[in-house]
Amino acid sequence: MRYVGNIFRPPSEADSLLLQATIGCSHNRCTFCAMYRDKRFRVRRVEEVLEDIEAAHDYHGSDVRRVFLCDGNALILPTPHLLRILTRLEEVFPELQRVGVYANARDLVSKPTADLQEMVAHKLSIFYLGLESGSDRILREIDKGATAEEMVAGVRHGMSAGMKSSVIYLLGLGGRKRWQENAVESAKAVSQMNPNYLSALTVTVVPGTPLARQLESGEFELPEPAEFAAELRLFLEHVDVKATVFRSNHASNYVPLAGRLPRDKERLVAELTEAIRNHRFKPEYLRGL
Ligand code: SF4
């Protein structure tokens, strides 16, 4: 396999074959994000991607069940381009069960339902969308390039076509001043999305990013571990979803939590209350990005 630059994938795609269909992120402006800052966005030629599929087959044989299409938002690719990749994956890997992809709101809403349904029929059945925050003010501050309403519409559109959704909420993006706003507005947006999966990650300030410069100048203040926990507790108290698998056990999180919403809401809130009361947080040296 040939990879350009650093490769990222969601934690749940740890066992997937990683296939780079695009290079970088078409937006690449979020103030906290350093994932693709070293890459200029471009689409890889479909022939190159097909060659990589052959190379993966030579290496792994035909027993590949999951594939993740990198980089930042490969769902931006035109439908015929994606279908050529998906069709070849199905031919080469007959046991293929699922293909995943990062997507942004625009990628999703710009695809007609029929296109998304055809992709689902060819196993592209889960997308990962970084909501980050449900507050439009915070989304503007972090230069997300989309409003909460646009992201809600994107997630609902993808789900209505039969795709599964995995949404990421980023604790702490409101800083110390606006942690309540980040919690309550994100809970509102997530409730409207009603995603299949929801991950709450904790913001980590990466050197060299605009957010790191804002931290240095005092424009952004990073919450303390107890404040992150209080934000997540407030979020959980406000969120109203029907059947969502919830995870907050990423390396970045101070209090590892997992459960199903709404079923486990009370337990999750109680675990956070207990952690706040006893100052029981993951030490910094055990945290990662
Ligand atoms: S957070 Fe997502 S959309 Fe924003 S720059 Fe990073 S990869 Fe691109």
* Residue 283 pLDDT grade (very low, low, confident, very high; cuts 50, 70, 90): confident
What's the average model confidence in pLDDT over 100-118?
Answer: 97
* d(C-alpha 61, C-alpha 43), whole Å: 27
Centre of ligand 1 to C-alpha 244, Å, is 23
* Residue 288 pLDDT grade (very low, low, confident, very high; cuts 50, 70, 90): low
- Residue 249 predicted with pLDDT over 90: no
- Residue 150 predicted with pLDDT over 90: yes
pLDDT computed for residue 26 by the predictor: 96
- For ligand 1, what atom is nearest to the CA of residue 132? 1
* Residue 1 pLDDT grade (very low, low, confident, very high; cuts 50, 70, 90): confident
- Residue 289 predicted with pLDDT over 80: no
Provide, rounded to the nearest whole percent, the portion of the chain with pLDDT above 90: 94
DSSP summary character for residue 45: P
Averaged confidence pLDDT in the chain: 96
Strands of the 244-247 sheet, one edge to the other:
17-20, 66-70, 98-102, 124-132, 164-171, 197-202, 244-247, 258-261
- Give the strand pairing for 66-70 and 42-43: unpaired
Atom 8, ligand 1: residue with shortest CA distance: 28
Centre of ligand 1 to C-alpha 227, Å, is 25
What's the average model confidence in pLDDT over 166-177?
Answer: 97
pLDDT computed for residue 285 by the predictor: 80
Query: Within 10 Å of residue 25's Cβ, how many Cβ atoms?
Result: 21
Pocket of ligand 1 (CB under 6 A): 25, 27-30, 33, 35-36, 72, 104, 130
Q: What is the pLDDT of residues 260-271, one digit of tens each?
A: 999 999 999 999
Q: Set out the domains of the chain in order of their start, with CATH numbers.
A: 11-286 (3.20.20.70)
- Residue 286 predicted with pLDDT over 90: no
Q: What is the pLDDT of residues 11-42, one digit of tens each?
A: 999 999 999 999 999 999 999 999 999 899 99
Q: What angle do CA 170, 287, 144 make, to 5 degrees?
A: 25
pLDDT computed for residue 287 by the predictor: 77
pLDDT computed for residue 84 by the predictor: 98
Coil, strand or helix: which one is 217? helix
- For the ranges 63-72, 110-119, 221-230, 275-284, the lowest mean pLDDT is seen at 275-284
Q: What is the pLDDT of residues 60-83, one digit of tens each?
A: 999 999 999 999 999 999 999 999
What's the average model confidence in pLDDT over 212-224?
Answer: 97
Q: What is the pLDDT of residues 190-201, one digit of tens each?
A: 999 999 999 999
Coil, strand or helix: which one is 99? strand
* Residue 116 pLDDT grade (very low, low, confident, very high; cuts 50, 70, 90): very high
Q: What is the pLDDT of residues 121-132, one digit of tens each?
A: 999 999 999 999
Centre of ligand 1 to C-alpha 37, Å, is 9
Probe residue for ligand 1, chosen from 7, 8, 35 as the CB with the greatest number of ligand atoms within 8 Å: 35
* d(C-alpha 212, C-alpha 193), whole Å: 30
